[in-house]
Chains A and B, each alone.
Chain A
Amino acid sequence: MRFSNINNLLWILSFFVLSLFGYMVYSNYSLDKAARYHNSVHSLELYSKEFDNFLLTQNKFINYDIINKKIEKFENNLEFLSSQNSIKLFPAKYAQLIKNIKKSFNDKEEIIEHFKSNNAQLLYSMHYLFDLTKVISKESNTTIAKNVKNVELNLLKFYINPTTDTRNITDKIAFLENLKQHNETLKYFLVHSKLTLHKIIQFHIMKTKQKENKLQKNILALDAFLTNYYEQNIYVIKIVIFFFVVTVISIILLLIFTNKKVEYMAYHDSLTKLANRTNIELYLQERIEKFNQETSKIAVLFIDLDRFKNINDTLGHHIGDALLQEVASRIQTILDPTDILARVGGDEFMIISEKRINLFSPDKLSQNILELFIQPLKVQGHTLSVTMSIGVSIAPDDEIDAAALLKFADIAMYEAKESGKNRYRFYKERLSILANDRLEIEQSLIHSLHNGEFFMMYQPKYDIKTQKTIGLEALVRWQNPKLGFVSPDKFIPVTEEMGLIIELGLFIFRQACQDFIEFEKHSPHLKSISINVSAIQFYEENFIEKISKIIEETGISISKIKIEITETHIMKNIEHSMEILQKLKTKGFEISIDDFGTGHSSLSYLKLFPINELKVDKSFIDDIPQDGSSVAIVDTVITLSKHMGYVNVAEGIETKEQNDFLLSLGCEVGQGYYFSKPLKANDLIAFLDKE
């Protein structure tokens, strides 16, 4: 989604929210109104009940003002409910319901009016009747009095229970009317008896009518309608509120997403969608802090396209951009999911590859990348041949610092360019310590030994056949509080120049001997400990005395110690070397030639040396079994060793393939990450115990 689209969507959603809000307010207003209508209808209901109560009033004087007031209020409520505004507010059914109420109210009103009239008439007639009965009882004969009383009583009875038979009353009235002597009082009595009887009958009829209470029913119907309407609206309101909430949440999510997008944009290259420099630097920083130096390594590959500027200048930026995209996607195809590819500049890419040590092969990765581009790229009809130069730096080998690693990778890349492009270079391989680095290291080294900054690591040497640890190589490591972990390649030359190597060498020797005695307890197969000795130490006059002293002190058996010395060193001063080696041999030390194959050894000299072991340099092992010449060299060295009676050791075995191949060549001893990386004393003990 494009940014502008998100903005549009936000506008639309905001509009939606506003509409919903408006609708909610409006609905609430309507509901309020509906509630008012409801109240009005409730009043109608109440008044309607009062009307019924009124119609139940019996035999007493009623001030009609009160019922009239109620009728008026009922009418006012009904008028409000039936106003044009009200009718408009509700569905058509409402109008019909109102109409029904109006009609039944008119009927009800009529009944009330008749009740009022009848009640007034009955009231004064009966009242008069009682007076007349009293008078007649006094002045008339017993027959008349008796009958009059009877009529009075039966009228009362009839009034209370209008279902009783009235024949009794009419008979008595007829009897009295037929009497000859009519006085004025009796005449009035008869008039009012008949009137009363008539009124009572009328009341009865009215009450029968009243039973079918349409008004109340119709009001209840309207009430039900409004309740239903209200509830439906509440339901709608609920739905609206639901949508409102959903929309608001969407907006919030979208805003968050947009921010993510911004963040993404800030950390990603828009052209290739790869991480950008900021992103990859942060990532490297994070990994450097978190990765386990013991088990993993991180390679930083700095890739720069060769002669990219030419493409850009001759074919245009759009081709250049397309090419970059193509390059990016091609590189992506060979990367592991854990490898991160970033575009860090115009034609610069970077890969961070973190691997477990046994799987770590930045050289292979670099080579693969270079090979990816043997096939030319087809970009918008142009066939473009692309090469690149790759610089590699490695943590923790080179440095355990993100900025330094980036810098080193950059330096290595320039080195690759200078060496002729279309190749890769490791920082470590070529770069001796820069002058300023050396100064730093020198200064740091002064107190390092005293401060206990050096520690030992031991890499197992194993019997390739049995895959058991048979020896160890003691390796010194330097962890400086200021410089961090400094590679031996860097600091050993400095210690040599400073002369510090003498002291350091003794430290190494002593430490290795002490540790070995401990290690022996954990492994029956362990036969030797190899200790590297620098040429400087070699030339020191009482070198042998010093180490002999250490051997005495530690109690290690001399035969277990292999002095490792590089081929290069020996060849620098063959005579002196020969002399020392002889001395060592005589003492009982074993001699191992390190990095064999790199020092231009003359076989004729070699023959003269008292050597026990040859170590084939890692650089040859790296390329087997693929590289024919490497295979040939390794094969030759192994054969040579056998003929000369040396133990041959292959250094830097990293894969099973190499291991197996070396086995097939008859190589006896191996060393390398394939079997074990260098281990600290504790870890080694655990390793041996496991064996």
Chain B
Amino acid sequence: MKKLVTSFLILSFSIICAEPIVPIPKSINYDHKKAQLGKKLFFDTRLSKNNTISCASCHNIYEGGDDNLQYSFGIDAQEGNINSPTVLNAGFNFRQFWNGGAKNLQAQAEGPVQNPVEMGNNFSNLIKTLNNTEYKNLFAKVYSNGITKNNITDAIAEYEKTLITPDAPFDKYLRGDKTAINLDAKEGYELFKSKGCIACHHGINIGGNLYNKFGVAKATHSKRLGRYEVTHNEDDKYYFKVPTLRNIAQTAPYLHDGRYNNLKDVVRFMAQYQLGRVITQEEVRKIVIFLKTLSAPVKEIQ
């Protein structure tokens, strides 16, 4: 009897019941006018104080949605202190920024504009600037109250919402195309689940839906304190938003401090520091092959 209960409990701890990863929808609803305006803003360096930096400077939507740098550079060649996360599929994240400091895309959009080491601007200045440009008319067409902070970030957020990458091979596989990924990738996915990666990296964005400690099993010596920066709660120290693994092959360097440049290293690191378990070279190889099936080109809006 005792044994039965135990085995039932153990069984129930087994990680997977239903499919833990959900494919990205092929299209989403958005406000076309706003998104168009947002797109223009996204690529516009006039958002920055000295007209040098645009959102796209650090979020190259054609190259994984980030800038392939450990830390991004802002105006006046100032280096940031965190790895820029991808903007692709960011709308599926439950919070924005590594520390979850922004509730949603619109809140996030405020950040870089005002960050002194990013665009170094402020909104009253930005609104003034934009009001002297074609944006005055463009905004008037979309927003009855013209250019405001809320409208700028709303437009950008609306555009960012459209930046999704459907049709990754793995999504095709999930949708029923058994040939979309190879055997190694399939085995990699099984390992991904059985090793416990899936506990954090799951859902539509394969991550991006919880915070977890950076260094569960071993100390990681992170300079940044993660969620603690927002909540100042001791329990939140080193807790970061679990990043999405979508297009992970395109978003090196990895982790919030960009400490690894290739997937092998970061998988091994994750196994040791997060899961606290042994992983073989072969297992790492297969998992990396699986991770590479998560990439797809961004769906461009018209």
A residues at B contact (CB < 8 Å): 59-61, 63-65, 68, 71-72, 75, 110, 113-114, 116-117, 120-121, 123-128, 130, 153, 156, 159-160, 184, 188, 191-192, 195
Contact = CB atoms under 8 A, between A and B. Distances in A.
Given A63-B20, A130-B10, 7 more contacts: A60-B12, A65-B203, A110-B231, A121-B216, A127-B196, A156-B10, A191-B276
Interface of B: 6, 9-10, 12-18, 20, 22, 94, 103, 195-196, 198-200, 202-204, 209-213, 216-217, 227, 231, 233, 235, 239, 275-278
Given A116-B211, A195-B276, A61 B233 contact: no
B226 to A, nearest CB: 11
B150 to A, nearest CB: 13
B196 A124 contact: yes
Nearest to A205: B235
A126 B212 CA distance: 17
Contact of B103 (A75, A128, A130): A75
Given A113-B210, A117-B239, A61 B16 contact: yes
B287 to A, nearest CB: 15
Nearest to B233: A110
A246 to B, nearest CB: 45
A61 B17 contact: yes
Contacts of B203: 63-65
Contact of A195 (B15, B212, B217, B239): B217
Interface of B is mostly: loop
7 contacts: A59-B12, A64-B209, A64-B210, A114-B235, A117-B239, A120-B212, A126-B13
B276 A192 contact: yes
A556 B44 CA distance: 142
Contacts of A71: 94
Per DSSP, chain A at the interface is helix
Contacts of A127: 13-15, 196
A153 B276 contact: no
Nearest to B100: A113
Contacts of B204: 65
B244 to A, nearest CB: 12
A128 B233 CA distance: 29
Nearest to B196: A124
A120 B17 contact: no
A156 B10 CA distance: 9
Contacts of A126: 13
Nearest to A124: B196
B103 A64 contact: no
A64 B15 contact: no
Nearest to B22: A65
A124 B199 contact: yes
Contacts of A159: 9
A74 to B, nearest CB: 12
A64 B201 CA distance: 10
Contact of A65 (B198, B209, B216): B209
A121 B6 CA distance: 20
B211 A117 contact: yes
Contacts of A195: 216-217, 276
B17 A64 contact: no
Contacts of B276: 125, 128, 188, 191-192, 195
Contacts of A68: 94, 209
A128 B277 contact: yes
Contacts of A121: 199, 212-213, 216
A622 B94 CA distance: 119
Contacts of A117: 210-213, 239
B9 A59 contact: yes
Residue of B17, B204, B210 with most partner-chain A CB within 10 A:
B210
A120 B13 contact: no
Contacts of A156: 6, 9-10
A60 B216 contact: no
Contacts of B216: 121, 195
A478 to B, nearest CB: 99
Given A64-B203, A117-B239, A156-B6, A123 B277 contact: no
A391 B40 CA distance: 109
B275 A120 contact: no
Nearest to B9: A156
A177 B188 CA distance: 33
B94 A61 contact: no
A159 B10 CA distance: 12
A128 B195 CA distance: 8
B107 to A, nearest CB: 11
Contacts of A160: 9
A482 to B, nearest CB: 91
Contacts of B195: 124
Contact of A130 (B13, B200, B227, B239): B13
Nearest to A156: B9
Contacts of B6: 153, 156
B187 to A, nearest CB: 18
Most chain B C-beta atoms within 10 Å of own C-beta, residue among A68, A153, A159: A68
Contacts of A65: 22, 94, 202-204, 209
A128 B196 contact: yes
Contacts of A124: 15, 195-196, 199, 275
A120 B231 contact: no
A322 B13 CA distance: 112
Contacts of B18: 63
Contacts of A116: 210-211
Nearest to B103: A75
Contacts of B198: 61
Given A128-B275, A128-B277, A195-B276, A120 B15 contact: no
A60 B17 contact: yes
Contacts of A59: 9, 12-13
Contacts of A188: 276-278
Nearest to B193: A61
A114 B211 CA distance: 8
Q: Most A CB atoms within 10 A — which of B6, B14, B276?
A: B276
A120 B200 contact: yes
B46 to A, nearest CB: 30
Contacts of B277: 128, 188
A61 B277 CA distance: 19
Contacts of A192: 276
Nearest to B242: A120
